[in-house]
Amino acid sequence: MPNQVVRARARLAVAYMDQNKLPRAAKLLEEAEAVIQKSFPRLREGSAGYWFIRAEMEYLNARGRLLSRMGQFDQALQAARLAIDKGHALQPLHAFVDQRQQQYSRANHAWAATEMASIQINMSRWLDADESLRLANGLYRDYGLTEDKMLG
């Protein structure tokens, strides 16, 4: 499934970024973007729609992180905003997946807001970062993502 290809590449790209292997991460995200452009359907409904939107959210979040690490803050911020929008688009589709998958997608949505705050901090946009952290905190709270649920 194309959505699984994108999710796997995004996740591996984040691991490469954590090891400071940015060129490898960039290559994986380029591959993921090509899959999105070529293989993702335009109409996204039901269970299949959930997985395509979630894959895009995870890709955009990873892309934002990479762009931030490369000093391309404006593009990073744009990717982070799009990732947050995808998280909002997922909310009505949570009924199509089990509770475990809902928890993971909600955690990724909140993480996207946290990543946006990090980008804004790197840009010295303190008030915007404060607003993004408030958004992230609200998402964590609304989703019931307490510390005990976020561990293991």
pLDDT in tens, 9-57: 999 999 999 999 999 999 999 999 999 999 887 767 788 889 999 999 9
Read off the tokens for 4.
Answer: 């699984």
What lies within 8 Å, CB to CB, of 52 at 6+ separation is 2, 3, 40, 41, 44
**pLDDT-derived band of residue 152, with 50, 70 and 90 as boundaries?**
very low
**pLDDT-derived band of residue 1, with 50, 70 and 90 as boundaries?**
confident
pLDDT of residue 87 exceeding 90, the answer is yes
The pLDDT score that the predictor gives to residue 12 is 97
Distances (CA, A) of 78 to 5, 63, 71, 137: 23, 10, 13, 20
pLDDT of residue 150 exceeding 60, the answer is no
pLDDT in tens, 91-129: 999 999 999 999 899 999 999 999 999 999 999 999 999
Read off the tokens for 79.
Answer: 């990717």
Q: At what angle do helices 73-90 and 46-69 cross, to 10 degrees?
A: 160
- Which run of H or E residues covers position 82? helix 73-90
